[in-house]
Amino acid sequence: MSAVVTVSERKARETERLRKAAASIVAELTGYAAAHHGRYLVFGSVATGAIRPDSDFDVVVDFPEDAERAAIAEVETVCAKYGVPADVHSIGTSGPSFLKRISGHWRELK
């Protein structure tokens, strides 16, 4: 007979898994950004440390135009590797009100 796992225990385990996954994603994307002369702006729960069991990886991609598509693909690939949903934005297509709203609340990876 297996032990019963409560909802709160399951949520705590998922939060911890996401916390560890986010740290690995940040490390990989930092290396990618440095190697490809761009930067990622991580915002939301990962940037603030308020990760919840339903958190995703919120990021704005700021790379030269010719490298942007590959930088976006890198986020999606790395997030999929760790089983974390990605919410990816391009700095070039993000509106000024969005960027203003998240400014000061992001963590720059470069």
Please report which confidence band the pLDDT of residue 1 belongs to, taking 50, 70 and 90 as the band edges: low
Q: What is the mean pLDDT of residues 59-68?
A: 97
Q: Domain limits of the chain?
A: 7-109
Q: Is 90 exceeded by the pLDDT of residue 2?
A: no
Q: Is 90 exceeded by the pLDDT of residue 95?
A: yes
- Stated as kind and residue range, the H or E segment containing 97 is helix 96-102
Give me the amino acid identity at 109: L
Rounded to whole angstroms, the Cα distance separating 74 from 29 reads: 8
Render pLDDT for 10-58 as a digit per residue (tens, 0 to 9).
999 999 999 999 999 999 999 999 999 999 999 999 999 999 999 999 9
pLDDT score at 23: 98
Rounded to whole angstroms, the Cα distance separating 67 from 70 reads: 6
A 10 A CB-CB count for 56 gives 18
pTM across the whole model: 0.93
Q: Is 90 exceeded by the pLDDT of residue 94?
A: yes
Rounded to whole angstroms, the Cα distance separating 47 from 108 reads: 9
CATH class of domain segment(s) 7-109? alpha beta
